[in-house]
């Protein structure tokens, strides 16, 4: 993997505080910045993957509704009551 230099300006006090905090963790500022960059990239990828999944799920629901594949309010409430009853049983058994 080739390496590149990343240069940016930062307030001198912040730079010194960051270097001290890094040293307290036996790390260099560069090591921490690389870690932060990796974590940020991963969090953005995770968010994009979740957004993609969520949009697919919404579209599945829209398509089902458009096809008339819906539950009545009574059917939803009956399922919810069954879930609540099961949860109460599990809590009581704990």
| Residue position matching structure tokens 């089902």 | 64
pLDDT for position 28 = 96
Number of H helices, E strands in the chain: 3, 0
Per-residue pLDDT in tens (0 to 9) along the chain, 94 residues = 789 998 999 999 999 999 999 999 999 999 999 999 999 999 999 999 999 999 999 999 999 999 999 999 999 999 999 999 999 999 999 9
* Joined tokens for residue 3: 């390496």
7 in any annotated domain:
no
Domain of residue 41 covers: 12-93
DSSP letter, residue 10: -
Report whether 39 contacts 28 (CB < 8 A): no
pLDDT for position 2 = 87
* Joined tokens for residue 31: 């090591």
> Which residues lie closer than 8 Å to 6 by C-beta, 6 or more apart?
33
1 in any annotated domain:
no
pLDDT for position 1 = 74
pLDDT for position 34 = 96
Q: DSSP secondary structure string, 41-61?
A: HHHHHHHHHHHHHHHHHHHHH
Domains identified in the chain, total number? 1
């Amino acid at each position: 993997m080739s390496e590149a230099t990343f240069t940016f300006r930062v307030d001198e006090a912040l730079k010194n505080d960051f270097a001290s905090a890094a040293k307290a963790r036996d790390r260099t500022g560069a090591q921490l910045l690389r870690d932060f960059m990796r974590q940020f990239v991963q969090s953005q990828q995770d968010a994009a993957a979740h957004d993609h999944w969520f949009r697919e799920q919404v579209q599945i629901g829209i398509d089902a509704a458009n096809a008339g594949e819906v539950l009545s309010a009574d059917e939803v409430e009956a399922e919810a009551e069954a879930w609540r009853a099961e949860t109460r049983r599990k809590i009581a058994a704990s």
